[in-house]
């Protein structure tokens, strides 16, 4: 026990005198998390959360235009712009401005659009009336011209954005067509039977959509945002970056001969290694919780969402511990395998950057090609991140993290075994 405690104290003294190492362990992740969360905030935001200026060219001046305008404004996502410098927006202006990227979107409602919908509704009502033996009295246009509401997108607009707008406008068109159809049916049935049509309308709205929580607890509908991704992801990255101080520390000990002296002293070298490991695992866990505090308290000060932790505090500690063990063991392996600090530090840093990129730290794994997703699932950083997401986003508990925690522990043991074999080989 004395050897273990003495080693922990020694590592503590070495760390607090290594200002560069301290900055690497605590300042670097703080900066990384803040910068990445700010940078990725906009791309991470759902389009539902963003507000766009929408140019509208209303050549219809009817109900359809009103419906579309009201619908878009009601959604809260759009600010409608129908005049520029006091003049109504023309189609030419709109196309030019959207093409230049000044506006993301323009909606052009063609002349006669409302009339076309009304005529179509009347035609349906007349047809139904005929089949029911009633007179077909609603006026219809002689020709059934096909009219389109035109949408112009900024050429740089993303596919997901386009499809969200398409879907929203489709909904408005369907809604107005349904409303007008019901209104025409009401007219056909005359006012005394209007209640029947109302019942029909109510029935039409009777079946809706309601999102349900999938996790075991009935908590919040968690939104996967920049903070929710970046804080755990870059915390794990920083925890694995402990490979740099550990490997550097081990190689320095080998180079300056202190390792030699430690090996010449009776007693198990494993106890010294355990002390080193225990110290750096503790540092990793402290890193994890400090970064969590950054997510909870600092991010909102920067007008970013607050990090939500879920309810599984003990499983979160366990997974932080497992990540720390794997990260520390990786540092010990790198420190054992390489002979010079330059080799170890370069390899350690580059390997962590690559593993983090593959493992979904930079961008979520879901947006990567399938082959990369498959590789990503093999990285320890992804195991840690997945487990954290299981706890924070999916409201999971021990059963949900046991697989990834197990993988991290097995990897830790495998790396320590390999390091021990290499070290033993050196003596023989």
Partner 1 sequence: MITVKNLHKTYPGALEPSLSGLSFSFPKGRIAGLLGPNGAGKTTTISILCGLVRADSGDAQIFDLHQDAHHRESIKKMIGIVPQQIALFPQLSALENLTYFGNLYGLKGKSLRTKIENYLQRFGLEKNGKKEVYKFSGGMKRRTNIIAALLHNPQLLILDEPTAGVDVQSRNMILQFLREYNQQHGVSILYTSHLLEEAQSLCEEVAIIDQGRLVMQGQPLQLIQQHPECRNLEEVFLHHTGLAVRD
Footprint of partner 1 on 286-325 (CB under 8 A): none
Binding of residue 272 to partner 1 (CB under 8 A): yes
Report CA-CA distances (Å) from 283 to 60, 74, 163, 244, 286.
67, 50, 46, 13, 5
Helix axes 2-16, 243-256, angle to 10 degrees: 110
Q: Choose between 128 and 262: whose C-beta lies nearer to partner 1.
A: 262
- The answer to whether residue 424 forms part of the interface with partner 1 (CB under 8 A) is no
User: What's the closest the beta carbon of residue 19 comes to partner 1, in angstroms?
Assistant: 11
CA 355/CA 361 separation, integer angstroms: 9
Question: Rule CB under 8 A: is residue 55 a binding residue for partner 1?
Answer: no
Q: By CB under 8 A, is residue 421 in contact with partner 1?
A: no
Among 31, 39, 84, 260, interactor with partner 1 by CB under 8 A: 260
In this structure, the number of other CB atoms found within 10 A of the CB of residue 369 comes to 8
Single out the segment in contact with partner 1 by CB under 8 A; choices: 113-121, 259-267, 382-390, 415-423: 259-267
Residues 6+ apart with CB under 8 A from 201: 182
Least distance (Å) from partner 1 to the CB of residue 262?
A: 7
Q: To the nearest whole angstrom, how small is the minimum distance from the Cβ of residue 4 to partner 1?
A: 10
Cα separation, 58 vs 20, in Å, equals 62
Nearest to 249 by CA among 37, 414, 12, 424: 12
Q: What is the CA radius of gyration of the chain?
A: 32
Hey, which residues between 7 and 26 contact partner 1 (CB under 8 A)? 7, 9-10, 13-14, 17-18
Residue number, 180 or 277, with CB nearest to partner 1: 277
Q: How many residues bind partner 1 (CB under 8 A)?
A: 26
Contacts 24+ apart (CB under 8 A), 121-130: 121/177, 121/180, 121/181, 121/183, 121/184, 122/184, 124/181, 124/184, 125/181, 125/184, 125/185, 125/187, 125/188, 128/185, 128/188, 129/188
Residue 276 · residue 6 · CB < 8 Å: no
Minimum distance from residue 345 beta carbon to partner 1 (Å): 17
Tell me the closest approach of the beta carbon of residue 368 to partner 1, in angstroms.
Answer: 42
Applying CB under 8 A, which part among 50-58, 253-261, 343-351, 394-402 lies near partner 1? 253-261
Q: Which of 79, 144, 163, 258 binds partner 1 (CB under 8 A)?
A: 258
Residues that bind partner 1 (CB under 8 A): 2-3, 5-7, 9-10, 13-14, 17-18, 253, 256-258, 260-267, 272, 427-428
């Amino acid at each position: 026990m004395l050897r273990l405690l003495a080693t922990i104290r020694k590592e503590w003294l070495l760390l607090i005198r290594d200002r560069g190492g301290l900055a690497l362990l605590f300042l670097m992740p703080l900066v990384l998390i803040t910068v990445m969360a700010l940078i990725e905030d906009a791309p991470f935001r759902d389009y539902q959360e963003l507000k766009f200026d929408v140019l509208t060219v209303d050549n219809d001046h009817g109900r359809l235009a009103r419906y579309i305008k009201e619908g878009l404004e009601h959604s809260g996502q759009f600010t409608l712009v129908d005049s520029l410098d006091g003049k109504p927006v023309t189609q030419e202006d709109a196309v030019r401005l959207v093409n230049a990227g000044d506006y993301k979107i323009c909606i052009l409602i063609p002349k006669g659009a409302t009339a076309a919908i009304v005529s179509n509704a009347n035609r349906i009502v007349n047809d139904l009336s005929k089949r029911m033996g009633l007179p077909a009295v609603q006026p219809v246009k002689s020709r059934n011209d096909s009219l389109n509401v035109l949408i112009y997108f900024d050429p740089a607009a993303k596919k997901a954005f386009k499809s969200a707008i398409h879907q929203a406008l489709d909904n408005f068109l369907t809604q107005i067509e349904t409303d007008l159809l019901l209104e025409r049916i009401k007219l056909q049935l005359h006012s005394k039977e209007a209640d029947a049509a109302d019942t029909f309308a109510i029935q039409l709205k009777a079946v809706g959509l309601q999102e349900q929580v999938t996790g075991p607890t009935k908590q919040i509908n968690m939104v996967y945002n920049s903070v929710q991704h970046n804080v755990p992801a870059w915390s794990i990255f920083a925890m694995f970056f402990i490979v740099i101080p550990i490997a550097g520390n081990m190689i320095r000990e080998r180079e300056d001969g202190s390792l030699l002296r430690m090996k010449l002293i009776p007693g198990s070298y494993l106890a010294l290694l355990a002390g080193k490991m225990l110290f750096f695992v503790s540092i990793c866990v402290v890193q994890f919780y400090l970064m969590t505090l950054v997510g909870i308290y600092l991010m909102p000060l920067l007008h970013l969402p607050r990090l939500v932790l879920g309810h599984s505090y003990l499983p979160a500690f366990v997974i932080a511990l497992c990540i720390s063990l794997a990260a520390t063991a990786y540092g010990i392996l790198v420190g054992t395998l390489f002979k010079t600090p330059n080799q170890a530090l370069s390899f350690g840093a580059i390997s962590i950057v690559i593993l983090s990129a593959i493992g979904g730290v930079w961008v979520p794994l879901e947006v990567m090609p399938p082959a990369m997703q498959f590789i990503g699932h093999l990285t320890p950083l992804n195991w840690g991140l997945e487990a954290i997401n299981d706890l924070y986003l999916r409201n999971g508990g021990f059963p949900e993290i046991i697989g990834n925690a197990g993988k991290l522990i097995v990897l830790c043991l495998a790396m320590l075994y390999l390091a021990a074999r290499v070290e033993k080989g050196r003596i023989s």
